[in-house]
Each structure stands twice: as structure tokens, then as C-alpha cells.
């Protein structure tokens, strides 16, 4: 009997030690100063899958991070977030702001070994804007001369993009565009190999080819994307890494443990609990960084589908959402936010138009919509269930459950449908398919226009691949956005975007609710990385101190096998702490 009890106690002790330890493992190795080292493979992960890597069509956050490593553009952002030439040697802009000349670097090689010429640049731009290409934001490029006839399929040549010999390209605009260089920095118009063809084909999404520092050698949906160094890369000595491996569809808590064991070198999708542990761990103090929050999150309402074709219902939703409650379930990462443009880009002064939480007004709007609801009896409201699309294993799913509670109080009953990232994108971008769902937008470039045009302008509505998930069409808003794009006066532009915010408050195609910040962590042996002010997970300059990384393999306490862990000296864990300091950042 005693023997059995001893065994049970031993097993219980093991279970507690194994499963319920409350610390986080200390960093692996030390951050030693020194020149960049060449070689090594950096490993990281996404909790989502990646739909595809065709520069012309893949536009979501997950794909963009990888695209910025596979494709180089004519222009890009430096470490301070300023626009600089990349494949162009320089940028010459005419005084009227309608003509851009890009002399190209010589000797730039694509992944297939071919040399980049001006004809490749033109072919890539034409391919992206071709009528058959499901480009998510063609309207960004509508000011290029000849865009309308080309994008409608009436001509075979985009007249505004001109070749000046083999190594210079000129782009002419119909009117000045304050965002033009920003949109030329997007992967959408990045030069792609000849294998991409002149017209979009679905197959290129899984075998992308560009002129970036890494090329894709393996792409398995839901599993892994492997990048290896492009030996012919134009920037001498770059990249430092032999490759990058991106594991897909990996849950955040799995990422954490793989990170602790040295199987992942960089992570950013920590759960709330793990994030707090790292933030309060003395061993990790001063390590990692918060990614700049250029994100607006909330919920979209499809204005072409009932009941959100009724403006009062949309306004009721925007008034019914208590944004502080949303923030309270993920302290540190989520902040209440009630306007389209993140505060990093336009800080709201007093009186700035923002959506607000006002329960009584929400009930009044429901009454005006013809769906009066009595909170005392629970009678009334919209009679049918509303399908709400959320993304699996994400904060969007958490937010959906809170929206469900909050909107039930005004008589809107949500039925949550949790789907994977690719399904979510497919459904929300198709006309008259998704009634309501998670809405999130990360800045394509650091300008307020990116928070309106692709997601709320009439011209961004498409039957398929529409970024305007609300299918919101509002002429006064369209006019404001056009004027803001044309203007080069920053004060005027700011005023116009303020007016645009006012329209969003009044019409409520989105109920903006929060901003989300990611805590990025990397082991001390990863060098050359810091969060970029514009580009997410910008790993192109990263390098590894491989001697330090080998410590991970030598440290038996990080082993996978039970025997390893039992025979190893007790791991040097950070002291346990459940003091989850709220404002610790």
C-alpha cells in the first residue's frame, strides 16, 4: 500500500513540476557584441496559415511579412521609416508632382538568375493591375495615366508606365498623389520573375519569385514556408542568414514552449498569460520590444445586408460597444480605440470625432431602426440571429464573445462562426456573404489614407477579393478621400481625414474598438533585429550568433524527452511571480 502511495505522490509531484511550473525559461545564450556573422537558419511561426505569396494579390499581415523578404520594390523604408530608393538608384520627381522617374540599379538579379530591367518593372506593374488579377487595392494606382482603360481591359498597355531604355522607368500621373511613393513601396507592384507571366495565375502564389534577399524553396499550406538566401542578391554581404523557416498554424502556447527550447528564435504571438510572465520575469527584463501599433481593430457591418443596410442599426452597434471592457480582457496588448486612424499617425485632440459607448443612445438607435428593445423584459430587437465571423485562436475570437454579450443588451443576437484565416479572408471579401465580423487593418504605409481608401471607399468594392468588407459606399467620403490624396498640404490633409472620421462616426460601417500591440521576443543570439516603424517582422537584416545558439542544443533542461528533463539539474527558471503588473510595458 505504501509503495502505491509513494508512486502516486511521485507522479503527482512530477505532474506539478512538469505541467504547472509558473516561470518562464531564461534567455538562451548571451548577446555578445561583434560584427554580423553569416549563416544559420532563423525559425519563427505564425498562428495562422498563409494563403499565398503572389505579390500582386497577397495583402494580409501574415503574407506581407514574408513578401517583404522575397520581393524588393523600387522604393522601401529605411530603419527610421522614411522612404528611400531600393531597386531604384534614385527618384526624380517633376515639380508638378505628376511625373516620377526611377533609374534602376544595374546588376540586380531575380531568384531565377535573370537580370532586372525596366521591362520587368513594367510587366510586373501591368500584371498586378490587369483586369484578370484579383488585386485587393487596384484603386491605389488609379492616378497612373491610362489606368482606367487598362484596368477595364480596354487596352493592353498601361500608358502611364514608360520605358526609358533598359534601366530607367517613368511613371506619369493624372494628378499629384501624396501617397504615390508609399504605394510604390508595397509588394503589389514589386518586380516579379518572368515565370509569373504577364497575366495573373493562381499557381504563382505557391512558387513566388522576385528579387528580394530570400527565395522560397518550400511552401506547404498550414505547415511551413522555407526561405533560403538569394546568393545573387544585389546588396553585397546581405542577407546574413542562410535561411528563415516560418512554421504556420502554430498555436501561441506551442510557440512559447518551442521558443523556450530554442526551436524558435523569434516570436510575437504570445498568449495573455505568457506575455505577462515574460513581462514580469527579471531574466527577460529589458529584452524584446513592442511592435509599433499601426493597427485598428473592431467589427465591420456589411451595409448591403440586413440589418446593417439600416444606418441606425450600425450606429446602435457603435454606441453599444464598451471598448474599455474589450481592453480589460487582454491588458497590455489591447487598448480601447474609437477611430479609424491609429493615434500614432493622428493623435486625437479634444473634440476629435470618435465613436463612443452610450447605452441609452444605442437603445434609441435600435428604436429608430424599427427594432425597439426592452432590456427589462428582453423583448424586441432584431428578430433573427446575426452571423458573426471571427478568426480561430485569435483575439478576434475573444472580442467576438464580448461583442456578443454587449450587443445582446440592445437586442442583437450574434451567432459566432469561428473559421481559419484563409476562410475568413475569402468570406469577408466576397459580396453579400458575411453579415458582420472581425475588422482589423494594419497600415500598408504610415499615412492616414491607408485607413480609409482600401477599406471604406466605393472604388475598393469588388465582387471578390474586396478589402471593403462593409461594402460601404458613400459619395461625400469618396470625395473627401480624393481631395486628401491630391493635396500636398499636410494641414489640409489632416483636416480632410478628420472630416472622414466624422462620416465614419455618423454612418458606422465599422465599429472601431481597439488597437492591438504585439510583444516581440527574440533570443539574445539573434542580432540585427528591432521592430520596424512601418514593416511588420522585418527580419531581413537579422543575423545569428551561432555559437550562442548551440547552447540551446547543449542544455539538457530544454530537452523534449522526459528522461532528459528528469536526469538534468533543475533548470534555472525565473522566479515565479503572479504579480501581473498591469501597466508594465
Partner 1 sequence: MLDPRAFRRFQKNRGAVFGTGLVVVLVLFAVLGPLLAGHDPNLSDFTGGRAADGSIAGPSGRHLLGVDPLLRDSFSRLAHGARISLLVAFFATTISIVVGAAVGLASGYAEGTRGQSVDTFLMRAVDVGLSFPYLLLVMAIGAAVGETTIVTILMVLGLTSWFGTARIIRSKTIQVRHLDFIVASRALGQSTPAILLRHILPNVAGPLIVIASASVAQMIIAESVLSYLQVGLPPPTATWGRMLLEGQRFYTVAPRLVLAPGILIFLAVLGFNLLGEGLRDALDPHED
Q: Which residues bind partner 1 (CB under 8 A)?
A: 19-22, 251-253, 271-274, 276-277, 325, 328-329, 331, 392, 397-398, 400-402, 404-405, 415-418, 578-582
Minimum CB–partner distance for residue 284 and partner 1 (Å): 14
Q: How far apart are CA 303 and CA 432, in angstroms?
A: 9
370 or 575: whose CB is closer to partner 1? 575
401 or 482: whose CB is closer to partner 1? 401
Minimum CB–partner distance for residue 356 and partner 1 (Å): 18
Is the separation of the CB atoms in 262 and 239 below 8 Å?
A: no
Expressed in angstroms, the distance from the first to the final Cα of the chain is 52
Q: How far apart are CA 365 and CA 399, in angstroms?
A: 23
Which residue, among 40, 65, 39, has the nearest Cα to 50 in the 3D structure? 65
Minimum CB–partner distance for residue 15 and partner 1 (Å): 10
Minimum CB–partner distance for residue 404 and partner 1 (Å): 7
179 or 428: whose CB is closer to partner 1? 428
Minimum CB–partner distance for residue 329 and partner 1 (Å): 6
272 or 364: whose CB is closer to partner 1? 272
Q: How many CA atoms lie within 13 A of 248 on its CB side?
A: 21
Minimum CB–partner distance for residue 365 and partner 1 (Å): 23
The phi and psi torsions of 275 (rounded to 5 degrees) equal: -60, -45
Q: How far apart are CA 225 and CA 542, in angstroms?
A: 18
Separation of CA 299 from chain center: 16
114 or 416: whose CB is closer to partner 1? 416
Minimum CB–partner distance for residue 309 and partner 1 (Å): 23
54 or 269: whose CB is closer to partner 1? 269
Minimum CB–partner distance for residue 382 and partner 1 (Å): 19
Four-residue CA torsion sign, 532, 534, 536, 539: negative
277 or 500: whose CB is closer to partner 1? 277
Minimum CB–partner distance for residue 416 and partner 1 (Å): 5
Q: How far apart are CA 501 and CA 457, in angstroms?
A: 13
Four-residue CA torsion sign, 361, 367, 371, 373: positive
Minimum CB–partner distance for residue 2 and partner 1 (Å): 21
385 sits in which H/E element: strand 385-391
91 or 416: whose CB is closer to partner 1? 416
Q: How far apart are CA 13 and CA 6, in angstroms?
A: 10
Place of cell 542544455: 555
- How far is CA 313 from each of CA 416, 440, 544, 556, rounded to the nearest angstrom? 18, 21, 53, 59
What is the β-pairing status of strands 289-290 and 436-442?
Answer: unpaired
- Name every residue whose Cβ is closer than 8 Å to that of residue 245 and which is 6 or more positions away in sequence: 41, 42, 43, 44, 224, 225, 226, 227
372 or 416: whose CB is closer to partner 1? 416
354 or 417: whose CB is closer to partner 1? 417
User: Running DSSP on this structure, what letter comes out for residue 582?
Assistant: T
Burial of 191-214, coded b for 16+ CB within 10 Å and e otherwise, reads bbbeebeeebeeebbbebbbbbbb
Amino acid at each position: 500500500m505504501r509503495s502505491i502511495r509513494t508512486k502516486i505522490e511521485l507522479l503527482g509531484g512530477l505532474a506539478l513540476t512538469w505541467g504547472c511550473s509558473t516561470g518562464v525559461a531564461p534567455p538562451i545564450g548571451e548577446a555578445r557584441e561583434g560584427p554580423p556573422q553569416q549563416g544559420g537558419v532563423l525559425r519563427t511561426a505564425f498562428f495562422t496559415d498563409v494563403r499565398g505569396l503572389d505579390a500582386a494579390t497577397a495583402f494580409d499581415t501574415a503574407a506581407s511579412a514574408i513578401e517583404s523578404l522575397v520581393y524588393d520594390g523600387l522604393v522601401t523604408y529605411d530603419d527610421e521609416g522614411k522612404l528611400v530608393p531600393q531597386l531604384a538608384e534614385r527618384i526624380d520627381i517633376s515639380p508638378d508632382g505628376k511625373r516620377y522617374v526611377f533609374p534602376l540599379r544595374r546588376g540586380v538579379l531575380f531568384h531565377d538568375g535573370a537580370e532586372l530591367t525596366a521591362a520587368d518593372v513594367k510587366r510586373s506593374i501591368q500584371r498586378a493591375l490587369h483586369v484578370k488579377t484579383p488585386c485587393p487595392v487596384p484603386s491605389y494606382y488609379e492616378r497612373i495615366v491610362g489606368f482606367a482603360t487598362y484596368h477595364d481591359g480596354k487596352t493592353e498597355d498601361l500608358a502611364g508606365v514608360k520605358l526609358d531604355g533598359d534601366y530607367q522607368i517613368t511613371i506619369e500621373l493624372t494628378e499629384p498623389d501624396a501617397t504615390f511613393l508609399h504605394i510604390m513601396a508595397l509588394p503589389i507592384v514589386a518586380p516579379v520573375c518572368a515565370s509569373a507571366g504577364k497575366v495573373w495565375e493562381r499557381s504563382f502564389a505557391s512558387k513566388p519569385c522576385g528579387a528580394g534577399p530570400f527565395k522560397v524553396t518550400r511552401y506547404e499550406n498550414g505547415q511551413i514556408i522555407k526561405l533560403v538566401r538569394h546568393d545573387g542578391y544585389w546588396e553585397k554581404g546581405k542577407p546574413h542568414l542562410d535561411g528563415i523557416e516560418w512554421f504556420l498554424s502554430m498555436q501561441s502556447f506551442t510557440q512559447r514552449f518551442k521558443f523556450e527550447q530554442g526551436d524558435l528564435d523569434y516570436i510575437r504571438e504570445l498568449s495573455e498569460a505568457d506575455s505577462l510572465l515574460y513581462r514580469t520575469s527579471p531574466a527577460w527584463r529589458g529584452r524584446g520590444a513592442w511592435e509599433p501599433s499601426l493597427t485598428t481593430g473592431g467589427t465591420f457591418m456589411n451595409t448591403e445586408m440586413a440589418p446593417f443596410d439600416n444606418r441606425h442599426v450600425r450606429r446602435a452597434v457603435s454606441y453599444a460597444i464598451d471598448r474599455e471592457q474589450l481592453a480589460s480582457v487582454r491588458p497590455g496588448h489591447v487598448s480601447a480605440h474609437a477611430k479609424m486612424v491609429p493615434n500614432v499617425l493622428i493623435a486625437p485632440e479634444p473634440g476629435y470625432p470618435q465613436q463612443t459607448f452610450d447605452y441609452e443612445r444605442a437603445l434609441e438607435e435600435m428604436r429608430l431602426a424599427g427594432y425597439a428593445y426592452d432590456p427589462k423584459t428582453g423583448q424586441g430587437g432584431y428578430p433573427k440571429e446575426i452571423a458573426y465571423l471571427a478568426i480561430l485562436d485569435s483575439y478576434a475570437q475573444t472580442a467576438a464573445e464580448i461583442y456578443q454579450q454587449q450587443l445582446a443588451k440592445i437586442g442583437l443576437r450574434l451567432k459566432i462562426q469561428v473559421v481559419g484565416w484563409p476562410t475568413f479572408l475569402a468570406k469577408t471579401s466576397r459580396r453579400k456573404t458575411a453579415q458582420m465580423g472581425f475588422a482589423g487593418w494594419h497600415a500598408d504605409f504610415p499615412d492616414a489614407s491607408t485607413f480609409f481608401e482600401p477599406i471604406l471607399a466605393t472604388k475598393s468594392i469588388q465582387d471578390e477579393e474586396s478589402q471593403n468588407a462593409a461594402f460601404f459606399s458613400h459619395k461625400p467620403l469618396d470625395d473627401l478621400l480624393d481631395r486628401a490624396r491630391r493635396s500636398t498640404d499636410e494641414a489640409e490633409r489632416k483636416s480632410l481625414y478628420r472630416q472622414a472620421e466624422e462620416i465614419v462616426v455618423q454612418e458606422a460601417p465599422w465599429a472601431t474598438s481597439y488597437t492591438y500591440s504585439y510583444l516581440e521576443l527574440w533570443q539574445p543570439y539573434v542580432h540585427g533585429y528591432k521592430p520596424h516603424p512601418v514593416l511588420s517582422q522585418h527580419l531581413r537584416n537579422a543575423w545569428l550568433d551561432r555559437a550562442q545558439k548551440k547552447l540551446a542544443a547543449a542544455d539538457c533542461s530544454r530537452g523534449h524527452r522526459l528522461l532528459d528533463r528528469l536526469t538534468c539539474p533543475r533548470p534555472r527558471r525565473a522566479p515565479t511571480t503572479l504579480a501581473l503588473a498591469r501597466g508594465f510595458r
